[in-house]
Amino acid sequence: MPVAASAIYLLNLRGDVLINRLYRDDVGGNMVDAFRMHIMQTKELGTCPVRQIGGCSFFYMRISNVYIVIVVSSNANVACAFKFVVEAVALFKSYFGGAFDEDAIRNNFVLIYELLDEIMDFGYPQNLSPEILKLYITQEGVRSPFSSKPSDKPVPNATLQVTGAVGWRREGLVYKKNEVFLDIVESVNLLMSSKGSVLRCDVTGKILMKCFLSGMPDLKLGLNDKIGLEKESQLKSRPAKSGKTIELDDVTFHQCVNLTRFNSEKTVSFVPPDGEFELMKYRITEGVNLPFRVLPTIKELGRTRMEVNVKVKSVFGAKMFALGVVIKIPVPKQTAKTSFQVTSGRAKYQASIDCLVWKIRKFPGQTEPTLSAEVELISTMAEKKSWTRPPIQMEFQVPMFTASGLRVRFLKVWEKSGYNTVEWVRYITKAGSYEIRC
């Protein structure tokens, strides 16, 4: 159920009403007094953004020196309410040159009332896209003197964009060279035991796109996901092609994706926004290809010496390489002196984080560099506490490699004028929380 707001108030930090808009007659005009008395004048302000007083609920958020308060008299979707507040503030900022504070509200109260009438009808949220609203609410707000943001010019065909399904892209775009850039960026989260067994592992990924396409193109993206390939083979009445398939979990799409077509055909079809945007996010929990395996050996020799041996093996192909590899190996706080031997890269002791930091700028695939270190500890008379041995941490970036195995099978661009396009696809795998117990 969407939020059905009875009233919206904009208050300053003293509780003075800057803007108020009543959308329903099921609440009285003294609701703002209840908010001042029971919330603003108590120590509970800021502890919980949702409060119930009497038969009404108050959802409030502080932005700069302004409180935005939504009053509802029925059971409403709280997440939808706060999403509305965030989108409304972004809309106001686009009109005010990036500023949203008490002065900006006082200087633009007529425009704010006009916008509030457009973005909410009888308490239900409507279109909050700045690009669409600026097509027919062309009044410019009083901008902050510190704002250097240029004024957005309205474009034609406002009625088509407001009533049509493509509110995120305007018509009439023309490029000399039509290009599409697609990046698959993944983060690997790993917890591995000292013996090399995986305790926890998953991959979170996102598909980023940058489109410079003329007209109103229709794009179709094919991935090697299991459900999509099975659906395609059913529609074409032929067996699915052999090869690795993956199962995507927790998939979320940009609003431009045609969900009806995705549910029926399991294909990602969309009319893209102009420029850069995030097409989709996903998670993988099975069949993860780890880019690195770390085998640590740490020996404590008495109370004053330690031996550290770490072997890092790159599992990806020999023709690929990782960039910016950093391995952080923890040591006790009472470390006094260290000496190193590494087969690749450089290592040093950083006392600020109690770690041996091993850096390799370019790490080729199918290689096994090693680090050997001797650590001298300060001997103390106090009772020795057992060292907890924090996990080894890694940072890296592997171009043209995906830990999930996700691949783009095709990226088709169709536009009625039939122009040619150039598609660029790139894969990047980064370290999320990549930890190995030692």
Query: Residue 174: is its pLDDT beyond 80?
Result: yes
Q: What is the per-residue pLDDT across 124-168, written as a single tens digit (0 to 9) for each?
A: 888 888 877 887 788 877 765 555 444 444 444 444 445 455 778
Amino acid at 26: D
Q: Judging by beta carbons within 10 Å of its beta carbon (0-12, 13-18, 19+), is residue 165 exposed, middle or buried?
A: exposed
- Among residues 289, 302, 283, which one has the least CA distance to residue 387? 302
C-alpha of 310 from chain center: 34
For the chain, domains (ranges, CATH) are 7-134 (3.30.450.60), 179-287+402-436 (2.60.40.1170), 292-378+389-399 (2.60.40.1170)
pLDDT at residue 159, as a whole number: 45
pLDDT tens string 64-113: 899 999 999 888 888 888 999 999 999 999 888 888 889 889 888 899 99
pLDDT cut 90: percent of the chain above it = 47
Share of the chain above pLDDT 70, in %: 88
Q: Which residue has the higher pLDDT, 403 or 303?
A: 403
Higher-confidence residue: 386 or 340? Answer: 340
Contact 426, 182 (CB under 8 A): yes
**Between these two residues, 374 and 152, which has the higher pLDDT value?**
374
Per-residue confidence band for 2, with pLDDT thresholds at 50, 70 and 90: low
The conformation of residue 241, written as its DSSP 8-state character, comes to P
Beta sheet of 292-301, edge-to-edge order: 292-301, 305-314, 370-377, 335-342
pLDDT at residue 294 above 80? Answer: yes
Range name among 164-168, 234-238, 325-329 with the lowest pLDDT average: 234-238
Question: Quick check: pTM over 0.85?
Answer: no
User: What pLDDT score was predicted for residue 350?
Assistant: 94
H helices of 176-271, in order, are 226-235, 259-265
The 10s digit of each residue's pLDDT in 181-230 is: 999 999 999 999 888 889 999 999 999 999 999 999 999 999 988 766 66
Transcribe 104-166 into DSSP letters.
Answer: HHHHTHHHHHHHHHHHEETTEE----HHHHHHH--PPP---TT--PPPPPP-S-HHHHHHSS-
Q: Return the pLDDT at 407.
A: 92
3-7, 269-273, 337-341: range with lowest mean pLDDT:
3-7
| pLDDT(286) > 80 | yes
Specify burial of residue 309 (Cβ count, 10 A radius: 0-12, 13-18, 19+): middle
Q: What is the mean pLDDT of the chain?
A: 85
Task: Give yes or no for residue 400 having a pLDDT over 90.
Answer: yes
181: Cα within 13 Å, side-chain hemisphere? 10
End-to-end CA distance of the chain, in Å?
50
Contact status, residue 154 vs residue 134, Cβ threshold 8 Å: yes
The average pLDDT across 408-413 equals 93
Segment of 243-252, 370-379, 384-393 carrying the highest mean pLDDT: 370-379
